[in-house]
């Protein structure tokens, strides 16, 4: 198990086991309340997490002044679809320089970084109760379908399921 908080893309089995372990207990004492049953479920979860892919917990923050200026533009307007070349002109840096800095400093392309930034913004909007269509457009996707695909690839669940589970968790 990781030493600190981590995010994993998990199987449906792991998700259901986790929900069973953390959700409301059944009133049937034989069903889930026994220590032996819980212990078996924990072992299944640990086995599943051992096979799961760990995902980045947060968006990497740039340190270079040019990248920080780029990041600020996109934090202020996550839906901005302006190409890197034009964004570079706005902050006084070339697209090739910014691409190299992103790769060297953050270990990802501009497209990957902007997608992660948008997904982070989407997580906040969904947790606030906004629907998938609103969130997709507010984060720069032209249609909900492409947003759902990108979101599911990074988060491991659909935006609708995430919204439902986060509203259940908060309530």
Task: Give the H or E element holding residue 27.
Answer: none
CB 137 within 8 A of CB 77: no
Question: Dmax of the chain from CA atoms?
Answer: 67
Question: Is the per-residue pLDDT at 2 higher than 70?
Answer: no
| Residue 92 to residue 70: CA distance in whole angstroms | 10
Q: Which fold has domain 65-170?
A: Arc Repressor Mutant, subunit A (1.10.10)
Question: Is the per-residue pLDDT at 169 higher than 60?
Answer: no
Quickly state the pLDDT bin for 20 (edges 50, 70, 90).
confident
CB 123 within 8 A of CB 133: no
Query: What is the C-alpha radius of gyration for the chain, rounded to an integer number of angstroms?
Result: 20
- Neighbouring-strand partners of residue 54: 8
Predicted local distance difference test score (pLDDT) of residue 148: 95
Domain ranges in the chain are 7-55, 65-170
Q: How do residues 62-96 score in pLDDT, each as one tens digit?
A: 999 999 999 999 999 999 999 999 999 999 999 99
């Amino acid at each position: 198990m990781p030493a600190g908080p981590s995010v994993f893309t998990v199987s449906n089995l792991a998700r259901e086991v986790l929900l069973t372990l953390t959700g409301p207990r059944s009133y049937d004492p034989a069903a889930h309340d026994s220590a032996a049953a819980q212990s078996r479920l924990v072992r299944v979860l640990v086995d599943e997490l051992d096979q799961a892919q760990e995902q980045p917990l947060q968006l990497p923050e740039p340190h270079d002044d040019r990248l920080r200026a780029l990041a600020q533009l996109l934090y202020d307007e996550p839906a901005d679809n302006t190409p890197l070349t034009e964004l570079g002109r706005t902050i006084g840096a070339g697209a090739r320089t910014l691409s190299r800095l992103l790769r060297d400093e953050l270990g990802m392309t501009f497209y990957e970084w902007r997608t992660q930034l948008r997904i982070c913004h989407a997580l906040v909007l969904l947790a606030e109760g906004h629907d998938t269509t609103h969130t997709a457009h507010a984060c720069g996707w032209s249609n909900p379908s492409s947003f759902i695909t990108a979101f599911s690839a990074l988060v491991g669940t659909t935006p609708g399921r995430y919204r439902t589970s986060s509203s259940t968790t908060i309530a």
